[in-house]
Amino acid sequence: MTRSKSPDVRTGNASYADEPVAPVVYEGRAPRVPVHLKATGRDVWRNVWAAGSGAYSPDTDRNIILRYAELHDRRAELLDRVEADGYLSEGYSGQPVAHPLLRYVESTEKELRSIETVIGFTPEARMRLGIVAAEARKVAAGPEDF
């Protein structure tokens, strides 16, 4: 995405800055870290708001970012228990099987990947969100500007 400058009066064409700029939705401080988050969740909360650089609104994006931080807490807790117990346990007939909590780790990671896509934390998601923003800018500007 680029930031639009004023139209060139001589040619009637819009000129654009060379640097990509994310849309700023919110310019205030990041919301306080919710007290119920554990160490991993607190770190994730701070990192997401810092990485967003104003792209996330506390009014509309707070709950999805909170969910993302809580899922990271859950994943860390599950992995700690698996690490303490060992990755293998004994099955019904005495055979080694994967720790049962690994299923929950996998489902938690699936939810995390889903949220990462929504909030633009993958290269593909950032590219897609950039394309969407560029298309919205074209519509807002109107066909006469292109």
Mean pLDDT, 10 residues at a time, over the chain (146 residues)? 46 48 66 97 95 84 96 98 95 95 98 93 79 52 46
Quickly list H helices, the chain: 39-52, 58-85, 102-118, 123-141
Q: pTM above the 0.75 mark?
A: no
| pLDDT for 52 | 79
| pLDDT for 104 | 98
CA torsion sign, 133 to 137 to 139 to 143?
Answer: negative
